[in-house]
Amino acid sequence: MADDTSVVIFDTTLRDGEQAPGFSLRLDEKLRLARQLDALGVDVLEAGFPIASDADAEAVRLVATELRRPTIAALARCAPNDIDCAGQALKPAARGRIHLFLATSDLHLSRKLRMTREQCLETAVASVVRARQYTDDVQFSAEDATRSDLDFLCRVVERVIAAGCTTINLPDTVGFCTPDEVYEFFSRILSRVPNASRAIFSTHCHDDLGLAVANSIAAVRAGARQVECTVNGIGERAGNASLEEVVMIARVRPERAGFTTRIQSKEIYASSQLLSQLTGEPVQANKAIVGRNAFAHESGIHQDGVLKDRRTYEIMDAEEVGVPRPSLVLGKHSGRHAVNKRCEELGLTLTKLELDRVYRQMTALADRQKSIDDADLENIVRHVRQTESDGTTGPGARVAVASELSAAGTPAEIGYGHGV
């Protein structure tokens, strides 16, 4: 890594993210998204699970062939056929990583795998040795690590590192932990495993309790140097730690986060939008960083503050994450300053009297249709100016304007609005 504060961003949008219902991608779509993730600057790009299907294997091979900067990872169970398939798919890679995984919790071992602890240990070590035949970059993930017996988990970690594993991932597979637990968990593992300094430790948190990002930050504070995450936080069940949130926490609160990344933040919004376009799954409106409301303001008080100094209600610059420009949403909570600002942006300079009348009509219309777009605003300005030129500015004029707007297909009810 470049310095002691830098963490590796391991992006698993194309693997764990694609496993979520409704997020499947065709081969050409995977390649297109992989190119964007490369532009975003992810350090490790997990391209797929080759043994899962011929299409997944081909996707890994194509991504490994085309992208030369990031490390390309392929997932494999601790099974010979999985490992060989992943190794073959990664052959064209400039830097390839085989990502092995095997559950270590007693619940998974007894109920899912029908395997003893000793069998688990032997299988993990043998798998690392086999994977090393294809690449010297081998990652081992102890599935359900945070619910595993700590003594046994330490044994597994020590042995796989001794066998040649270079990255140890300790996932909170079911999003069960809280940040304080994750911090203590990583601290204890790193202090108890004798050869821990020979590997990079990684965190992979799920969002079942809405704590994936907080848990990931806690793991980094305890010594993890790799964060596994996805664009828009997509993934199994409630999803994974959101890449954009992890990255921007490091940028906005560096004194608290204590780490840096090599992500090109101006590519964040483009990555989010492309993923949404390819999957047909919209981003939650109030999603941090990339939701359509993340930099939008409708409240008149907020709009007035942002117009004077964006720092009053924005802790980051929208342009820093590639959002075209902050949005002042016109609605019934908006204020006169926001209306005037948007009119100026549309090339409409209003007198004080015109602004007052436009504002009142805008808020009345917003009571009927939630928000006001540019066409609505231009219509209102045109009608206000028309009534002034006709010399009709009384209550009758307001009724007439309402009638004309309704006739044009825009619901309107002219009256006194409210706002700051």
| pLDDT recorded at residue 113 | 96
CB-CB neighbours of 288 under 10 Å: 14
The structure tokens listed for 331 are: 């609605």
pLDDT for 152 beyond 70: yes
pLDDT for 398 beyond 50: no
| pLDDT recorded at residue 307 | 78
Mean pLDDT (the chain, rounded): 90
Strand partners, 203: 227
| pLDDT recorded at residue 309 | 85
Task: Give a yes or no: residue 308 inside a domain.
Answer: no
Structure-model confidence comparison of residues 400 and 223, the more confident one: 223
Among residues 247, 279, 311, the one where a domain terminates is: 279
| CB neighbour burial string for 105-118, b if at least 16 within 10 angstroms, e if fewer | bbebbeeeeebebe
The 10s digit of each residue's pLDDT in 172-194 is 999 999 999 999 999 999 999 99
Which range of residues forms the domain containing residue 355? 331-407
Among residues 279, 314, 343, the one where a domain terminates is: 279
Query: Mean per-residue pLDDT for 51-80?
Result: 97
114 and 39 in a single domain? The answer is yes
62 and 191 in a single domain? The answer is yes
120 and 269 in a single domain? The answer is yes
pLDDT for 162 beyond 60: yes
Task: Give a yes or no: residue 3 inside a domain.
Answer: no
| pLDDT recorded at residue 3 | 59
The 10s digit of each residue's pLDDT in 8-36 is 999 999 999 998 888 889 999 999 999 99
Split at pLDDT 50, 70, 90, the class of 171 is very high
Query: Mean per-residue pLDDT for 254-278?
Result: 96
Strand partners, 226: 8, 202
* Contact (CB, 8 A) for 164 and 201: no
238 and 95 in a single domain? The answer is yes
| pLDDT recorded at residue 412 | 33
Structure-model confidence comparison of residues 9 and 309, the more confident one: 9
258 and 358 in a single domain? The answer is no
Task: Give a yes or no: residue 317 inside a domain.
Answer: no
152 and 79 in a single domain? The answer is yes
- Among the residue ranges 48-52, 299-303, 307-311, the one predicted with the least confidence is 299-303
| pLDDT recorded at residue 130 | 98
- CATH code of the domain containing 154: 3.20.20.70
207 and 127 in a single domain? The answer is yes
156 and 52 in a single domain? The answer is yes
Task: Give a yes or no: residue 53 inside a domain.
Answer: yes
Whole-angstrom distance, CA of residue 227 vs CA of residue 354: 54
Split at pLDDT 50, 70, 90, the class of 392 is low
* Dihedral over Cα of 202, 151, 136, 33: its sign: negative
Structurally, the chain folds into a number of domains equal to: 2
105 and 237 in a single domain? The answer is yes
| pLDDT recorded at residue 216 | 98
pLDDT for 410 beyond 60: no
| pLDDT recorded at residue 97 | 98
pLDDT for 134 beyond 70: yes
φ/ψ (deg, to 5) at 305: -65, -45
Residue of 251, 226, 249, 229 whose CA lies nearest to 241: 229
Task: Give a yes or no: residue 262 inside a domain.
Answer: yes
Split at pLDDT 50, 70, 90, the class of 308 is confident
Secondary structure of the chain as H, E, C letters: CCCCCECEEEECCCCCHHHCCCCCCCHHHHHHHHHHHHHHCCCEEEEECHHHCHHHHHHHHHHHHHCCCCEEEEEEECCHHHHHHHHHHCCCCCCEEEEEEEECCHHHHHHHHCCCHHHHHHHHHHHHHHHCCCCCCEEEEEECHHHCCHHHHHHHHHHHHHCCCCEEECCECCCCCCHHHHHHHHHHHHHHCCCHHHCEEEEEEECCCCCHHHHHHHHHHHCCCEEEEEHHHCCCCCCECEHHHHHHHHHHCHHHHCCECCCCHHHHHHHHHHHHHHHCCCCCCCCCCCCCCCCEECCHHHHHHHHHCHHHCCCCCHHHHCCCCCEECEECCCCHHHHHHHHHHCCCCCCHHHHHHHHHHHHHHHHHHCEECHHHHHHHHHHHHHHHHHCCCCHHHHHHHHHHHHHCCCCCCCCCCCCC
Is 0.85 topped by the overall pTM?
no
246 and 370 in a single domain? The answer is no
Task: Give a yes or no: residue 300 inside a domain.
Answer: no
Task: Give a yes or no: residue 289 inside a domain.
Answer: no
| pLDDT recorded at residue 327 | 66
Among residues 235, 253, 279, the one where a domain terminates is: 279
| pLDDT recorded at residue 326 | 56
Task: Give a yes or no: residue 306 inside a domain.
Answer: no
Strand partners, 204: 228
65 and 190 in a single domain? The answer is yes
188 and 335 in a single domain? The answer is no
The 10s digit of each residue's pLDDT in 230-262 is 999 999 999 999 999 999 999 999 999 999 999
